[in-house]
Amino acid sequence: MDGKKILRINEAAQYLGVNESTLRTAAKNNEIPFRKFSNKYYFSLTALEIWAGGLDVKTEFAKALAIQLQNA
């Protein structure tokens, strides 16, 4: 696999410090990099690290989700 780490949704959620349903919603809304195969979500660790960009991911993700829910 040439050193690339692929995470399942539970692993990616744990890495980002969010629950799986929050991550699944973000993926469905194309707010986070992911791939879907056979109805399952997969995340590249490298892509998540780049996406996170050194932010406090849990805090920033929660803020973005709260804004999205207010606007729904």
Structural domains for the chain: 6-70 (1.10.1660)
pLDDT at residue number 59: 61
Instruction: Answer yes or no: is pLDDT of 34 > 90.
Output: yes
Q: How far apart are CA 41 and CA 2, in angstroms?
A: 21
Mean pLDDT within 13-17: 90
Phi, psi (rounded to 5 degrees) for 34: -160, 170
Residue type, 30: N
State phi, psi for 53 to the nearest 5 degrees.
55, 30
Query: What band does 72 get if pLDDT is binned at 50, 70 and 90?
Result: low
Tell me the pTM.
Answer: 0.68
The answer to whether residue 63 scores a pLDDT higher than 70 is: no
